[in-house]
Amino acid sequence: MIGKRIYECMINRGLNPVEILRNLNINFPDDIEETDINHGSNIKNEEHTIKQITNTDLEKMVKIKFDDGSNSAIFYLDNNKILLKNGIEIGKYNVWIDYETEIPRIYKNKKNMVLDPINSEILYEYSLYEEMNMYHELDTNIIYRQYKYDYGLDRFIKLSVVHLL
């Protein structure tokens, strides 16, 4: 189990474990080639893609800052994915849909998509993959949103956990 985690960490960081083990003079099976690990293009691990990102790509992406009260980090948004600067996918984001009908109708559209109370734009919710927490110190057990609905005050309250930059 720990070997698999180390292997995945090495792959996620663009390292070639086969090459490293051979350099350490560890007897490694010959049927595994160094070319089994593809550097530079899209590398697929179990669930998440590592995508080669250039500075030009970063300039086109939306930057976002998460803050869980203890720690904060800046990420990039692209195609419903939350990415690190080097292209590692560490989470996802979706349209915030009120499936439980907890939010009053005036803050939603006909499809139950929650809307920004100021400009009526569709709001999103962001979640970070638990297995990618080696790249940040943020809480992965919460859904990050820009607002929360306060039932006592009967209105939306702007949160400081998500900032679009």
Could you tell me if residue 45 is inside a domain? no
pLDDT at residue 154 tops 70 = yes
Query: Cα separations (Å) of 45 from 34, 157, 163?
Result: 17, 38, 29
Structural tokens at position 109: 């559209």
> What is the structure's pLDDT at 48?
57
> What is the structure's pLDDT at 124?
94
- The larger pLDDT score, comparing residue 163 to residue 130, is at 130
> What is the structure's pLDDT at 40?
38
Q: 137 with 70: CB under 8 angstroms? A: yes
Could you tell me if residue 48 is inside a domain? no
Instruction: Find, among 84, 81, 58, 78, the residue nearest to 138 by Cα.
Output: 84
Based on the structure, what is the number of domains in the chain?
Answer: 2
> What is the structure's pLDDT at 97?
94
> What is the structure's pLDDT at 57?
72
- The larger pLDDT score, comparing residue 43 to residue 151, is at 151
> What is the structure's pLDDT at 21?
56
Residues 160 and 79 in one domain: yes
> What is the structure's pLDDT at 165?
63
> What is the structure's pLDDT at 96?
94
Domain of 90, in residue numbers: 55-164
Residue type, 24: L
The conformation of residue 37, written as its DSSP 8-state character, comes to S
pLDDT at residue 129 tops 50 = yes
pTM for the predicted model, two decimal places = 0.64
Query: Cα separations (Å) of 34 from 22, 23, 52, 135?
Result: 9, 12, 20, 25
pLDDT at residue 89 tops 60 = yes
Which SS3 state, helix, strand or coil, does residue 140 take? coil
Residues 87 and 31 in one domain: no
Could you tell me if residue 46 is inside a domain? no
CA-to-CA distance for 148 and 156, rounded, in angstroms? 6
Task: Enumerate helices (H) and strands (E) in the chain, giving the number of each.
Answer: 3, 11
